[in-house]
Amino acid sequence: MIQLERISRVYHVGDSEVHALRDVSLEIAGGEHLAIIGPSGSGKSTLMHILGCLDRPSSGSYRFGGREVGALSEEERSHLRQQEIGFVFQFFHLLPRLTAVGNVELPMLFAGVGRRERRRRATEALRAVGLEDRMEHRPDQLSGGQRQRVAIARAVVMEPSLLLADEPTGNLDRASAEEVMELLESMNREGRTLVVVTHDPEVAARARRIVRMSDGELQAEAAGDGT
Amino acid sequence: MNPLDVLRFGWGALSGHRLRTGLSVGGVAVGIAAVVALTALGEGARRYVVQEFTSLGSNLLIVIPGKVETTGTLPFGGVVHDLTVADARAIAQRLPEIVRTAPVAVATDLVQYRDRGRSVPILGTTGAYQFVRQVRVAAGRFLPPGSAQHGGSGIVLGPKVAAELFRGDNPLGKIVRVGPYRFRVIGVMAPKGRSLGFDFDDLVFIPVGTAMRIFNRSSLFRILCEVRTASDLGRAKRRVLSLLRERHRVDDVTVITQDAVLSAFSSILSALTLALVAIASVSLTVAGVGIMNVMLVSVTERRREIGLLKAVGATNGQVLVAFLTEATILSTAGGLAGLGLGLAAVRIFVHLYPGFPASPPAWSLAAALGTAVLVGTVFGVVPARRATRLDPVSALTGR
């Protein structure tokens, strides 16, 4: 499903160059559960942003579903994010002025889904994450775990094939973290490819496959405990 | 993306910052209210002048002695023939386009009744003046149609003169003196009020022949000609000029029409209105800069939101439209509030000064609202483009 070949990402900070990624090559098959682990500054977030088409590699080839992402226009990459990729962030990134259901509706708003259909699908997605009784609550009326579940509902409401989670449990207590990971894994069992970026070995260990990053390079690959 | 959804989204973002939104809306509202109120005043001034001119009598040609032009061929500006009562009569009798003419001679002198005196303009004219100028008599009658020389010693008093000199007595039949000459009061005018700064109530009328004799005048001040229909004005003007050229053997009079004066005034006042609008537009520009500032702050504050919108698949175009819509909602709301505010101000003004026909012309309402919407859109472009250009990764991570 995803092929990365010799991906590099170089930032220019003043006169110096920072190599966030160096020659990263990685293949992810459809339906996989992959963890990317590494200390902060290892390039794992940059890798996730490139996977999510939020960032472009400086060199190398990124193929998504057989299409060369580097050749896509800005608009086509927006479309790809909208239809094929769901994001879950460490800080949730919910809009505080919108209710839970309003936040889940957001991707459909830009996809031009009709109002009633939006409401129906958002309600369904919130039910799937167990928040049917919190639909009209605003983010500040929800606990951290509940917020992240809203964010997951938002990520999957467009039925994407790839789910990208950046430190999804980084801001949560143990119990909420466990809930959130179970939820993400259940989405994976439904056939969605799940990529989790984390520095937490416990979270990483739940994946079927773990890649370790350090200093912008892929270090080693291991099998996880995930089944 | 459905336009209604865009509006709802923008409205949601704005209603999160009530004070800030209210202030920017208020800024536009004040600018628009100023435009509406000032155009209403300008238009009111124009209507006032038109009204005043109409009240002087329409279909009017005014003949003035002397040619209004610069000539270098004759020494001392050339010879000016007197404008005479005979000229007035000739115009009325020989030109079918002219219904009647009223010769007017003017002087200012002391009018006395017993020990009370009042210095007022004295108009020497004929009975025709009443019809040409559309004035009415409250008591008695106006000057008689007149004989060949329009002599006689009847006098008609303006209501103010009558009130000041007679203090409630009935002036009809009483004797008043103008200088050494004695006149019998034959009528008192109905109040007409001031018109273009001239008080039509504070003057007296005496026969034109008498006036020219006692004030030792050889030329009339002017001849007022009533034209049969307004469409004849142009032709009547040419025929009056050629008749007087024939009689005087030279081009030595000027004929002005009411609408020439009127259109001159009207264009001056339109220019004034536009100048007022230009001044008011400055405040609109300030309001526009205010919107731009608020939107720039908003874009900076909402970096994460913009990053998220891009992550969930909003295209740059959609982000641009969303932020432009917010700016336009601000300015449109301001425009509507400004229209209400301006109209209310005009209403209060009209209530305080009922005689002044202040009313904003329809074009200014439409233009004001249109400008408001435009201001928001134009000043929203820079912030919206800034939102569009945000790199989603740095926006999301807050770097």
Q: List, for residues B329-340, the tens digit of each pLDDT value.
A: 999 999 999 999
B373 to chain A, minimum CA–CA distance in Å? 24
Contact residues for A195 (Cβ-Cβ < 8 A; gap 6+): A28, A34, A35, A36, A48, A51, A162, A163, A164, A165
B324 to chain A, minimum CA–CA distance in Å? 16
Report residue B382: phi and psi, to 5°. -60, -50
- Per DSSP, what are the bridge partners of residue B175? B184
Work out whether the CA dihedral B373, B379, B383, B389 comes out positive or negative.
Answer: positive
Which among B5, B313, B317 is the nearest to A82, CB-wise? Answer: B313
Write out residues 316-345 of B within 8 Å (CB-CB) of A: 316-318
Exposed, middle or buried, B73 (CB in 10 Å: 0-12/13-18/19+)?
exposed
The pLDDT of residue B195: 67
For residue range B8-40, list pLDDT tens digits in order: 899 888 888 889 899 989 988 998 898 888 888
The pLDDT of residue A108: 94
pLDDT over 60 at B71, yes or no? no
Topology of domain A33-42+74-223 in CATH is Rossmann fold (3.40.50)
Chain B touched by A71 (CB under 8 Å): no
Averaged pLDDT for residues B73-77: 49
| pLDDT mean across residues, chain B | 86
Contact residues for B131 (Cβ-Cβ < 8 A; gap 6+): B100, B226
A155 to chain B, minimum CA–CA distance in Å? 8
ipTM field: 0.92
A114 to chain B, minimum CA–CA distance in Å? 8
Q: For helices B316-352 and B362-389, give the axis angle rounded to 10 degrees.
A: 150
Averaged pLDDT for residues B314-318: 93
Chain A touched by B3 (CB under 8 Å): no
The DSSP code sequence of B292-342 is HHHHHHHHHHTHHHHHHHHHTT--HHHHHHHHHHHHHHHHHHHHHHHHHHH
Chain A touched by B96 (CB under 8 Å): no
Give the DSSP letter of residue B153.
Answer: -
The pLDDT of residue B75: 47
pLDDT over 70 at B213, yes or no? yes
Report residue A206: phi and psi, to 5°. -70, -15
Identify residue B318 by its one-letter amino acid code: Q
Instruction: Report residue B280 as tokens.
Output: 């008011």
Q: Which is more confidently placed, B108 or B277?
A: B108
**Chain-chain contact of B307 with A79 (C-beta, under 8 angstroms):** no
Report residue B246: phi and psi, to 5°. -65, -40
Q: Which residues in chain A have their CB less than 8 angstroms from residue B1's CB?
A: 109-110, 112
Distance CA B358, CA B48 (A): 9
Distance CA B240, CA B252 (A): 12
Instruction: Report residue B82 as tokens.
Output: 């007197």
The pLDDT of residue B311: 92
Interface test mutation site (partner B, options A58, A93, A117, A150, max chain B beta carbons within 10 A): A93
The pLDDT of residue B383: 92
The pLDDT of residue A183: 93
**Chain-chain contact of B315 with A110 (C-beta, under 8 angstroms):** yes
How distant, in Å, are the alpha carbons of B5, B210, B291, B325 from that of B317? 15, 86, 21, 12
Q: Which residues in chain B have their CB less than 8 angstroms from residue A164's CB?
A: none
The pLDDT of residue B57: 61
The pLDDT of residue B56: 63
Work out whether the CA dihedral A143, A145, A148, A153 comes out positive or negative.
Answer: negative
Instruction: Report residue B149 as tokens.
Output: 């020389």
Helices (H) and strands (E) in chain B, counts: 12, 12
Identify residue B341 by its one-letter amino acid code: L
**Chain-chain contact of A95 with B5 (C-beta, under 8 angstroms):** no
**Chain-chain contact of B316 with A82 (C-beta, under 8 angstroms):** no
Distance CA B231, CA B226 (A): 12
For residue range B84-131, list pLDDT tens digits in order: 888 988 998 899 889 899 999 999 999 999 889 999 999 999 988 988
By percentage, how much of chain B surpasses pLDDT 70?
93
Chain B touched by A14 (CB under 8 Å): no
Averaged pLDDT for residues B308-332: 92
Quickly state the pLDDT bin for B253 (edges 50, 70, 90). confident
B27 to chain A, minimum CA–CA distance in Å? 25
Quickly state the pLDDT bin for B196 (edges 50, 70, 90). low
Which among B1, B16, B393 is the nearest to A109, CB-wise? Answer: B1
Q: Are A94 and A107 in contact (CB under 8 A)?
A: no
The pLDDT of residue B365: 87
Regions of chain A short of the pLDDT cut 70: 226-227
Distance CA B344, CA B12 (A): 29
A82 to chain B, minimum CA–CA distance in Å? 4
**Chain-chain contact of A81 with B13 (C-beta, under 8 angstroms):** no
